[in-house]
Amino acid sequence: MHYADVAKYLKRRRALNGRLLIMPTEAGMPSDPSPAQAADIITRRKLSEYTWSTSFHPSFIRDLTFEGFLCISSELAGSSNSPLYVLVPKLHHMRCVIDLSQNKLHISKNIRKQSKKYWITFNRDFEQVVLGCIEQHGENWLYPPMRCALKDLRRDCKSGGSLEPTTFRALSIEIWRGDFNDEASWELVAGELGIAYGSVYLSLTGYYNHAVSGAGSVQLGALGAALKEAGVLLWDMGQGQGTEYKYDYGAVDVPRADFLQLQRAHRNNDFW
């Protein structure tokens, strides 16, 4: 379906509400407005947090993320054989962040103690982390075109237990328990999907095994420690309201304009 038809559908449903359309002229080509222009327009005019597009091209999502948007997706209409999905780049009024450059990360003694039973890897089991997120939260915003885009954004990533330098990539974080020397005993107890670029890490979504006490807390604590060790300076945690546990780790909410200023200060630093 062409984006003009989508717009007509949204207007009939009163779903646009002044949201800005960002649409590449064709796959992989510049958009009108550009992601940078869209971020400026939304900030200056104090527009809605949500924008929309029918393009899921990986380079488009990359450019939006680089300008401070957090890209999710939504299912609007259609049949089971032909569902209609749209990309929903979000630029929050308030963004939840941990400024690692100012040593704002807080990991409690209890979490540090619990973490000794687990270990963390990156991009070892991307598919299972995706499935874990869907099993815990439902498809929510991880609809098929969004999953495909994230897979494309991590194709050149190395798998294993360490972070490798790169400019921009999607990645998975895995938390395991079991005998470290016996891979057959490994059990994936928590995971997260995120995007790394410059010296910024953006958390997208995560899950944990509710039957394993403290797995979710360990996942955040271990990830924070790994990000700091890797040289990340800004941990972008997305939405803060409704996820108050993030504040226990040193996160604060910052207004949109302040977030963009902070994000731009770190997005070009090549620490990954």
At 210-219, the pLDDT tens digits run: 999 899 999 9
In this structure, the number of other CB atoms found within 10 A of the CB of residue 180 comes to: 11
Q: How far apart are CA 105 and CA 158, in angstroms?
A: 27
Q: Evaluate if residue 203 carries a pLDDT over 90.
A: yes
Q: What is the pLDDT of residue 116?
A: 87
This prediction's pTM: 0.87
**CA-wise closest residue to 252 among 266, 265, 237:** 237
Confidence of residue 78 (pLDDT cuts 50, 70, 90): low
- Average pLDDT (248-269) is 95
Q: In the chain, pLDDT over 70 holds for what percent of residues?
A: 83
Q: What is the pLDDT of residue 17?
A: 53
Q: What is the mean pLDDT of the chain?
A: 86
Cis-peptide into 33, omega within 30 deg: yes
Q: Evaluate if residue 114 carries a pLDDT over 60.
A: yes
Q: What is the pLDDT of residue 188?
A: 96
**CA-wise closest residue to 138 among 205, 213, 238:** 205
Confidence of residue 161 (pLDDT cuts 50, 70, 90): very low
Token code pair at residue 14: 């009163």
Confidence of residue 89 (pLDDT cuts 50, 70, 90): very high
Confidence of residue 4 (pLDDT cuts 50, 70, 90): low
Q: What is the pLDDT of residue 6?
A: 54
Q: What is the pLDDT of residue 163?
A: 45
Q: What is the pLDDT of residue 41?
A: 92
Q: How far apart are CA 235 and CA 254, in angstroms?
A: 13
Q: What is the pLDDT of residue 14?
A: 45
Q: What is the pLDDT of residue 159?
A: 42
**H helices present in the chain, as ranges:** 3-12, 35-45, 58-66, 109-115, 126-137, 144-152, 215-230, 256-266
- Average pLDDT (137-157) is 88
- Tell me which of 28 and 120 has the higher pLDDT: 120
Q: What is the pLDDT of residue 242?
A: 79
- Tell me which of 263 and 11 has the higher pLDDT: 263
Q: What is the pLDDT of residue 82?
A: 77
Q: Evaluate if residue 186 carries a pLDDT over 80.
A: yes
Confidence of residue 157 (pLDDT cuts 50, 70, 90): very low
Q: What is the pLDDT of residue 80?
A: 67
Confidence of residue 160 (pLDDT cuts 50, 70, 90): very low
Confidence of residue 23 (pLDDT cuts 50, 70, 90): low
In this structure, the number of other CB atoms found within 10 A of the CB of residue 61 comes to: 25
Which of 116-130, 145-159, 193-207 comes out lowest in average pLDDT?
Answer: 145-159
Name the 3-class secondary structure at 18: coil
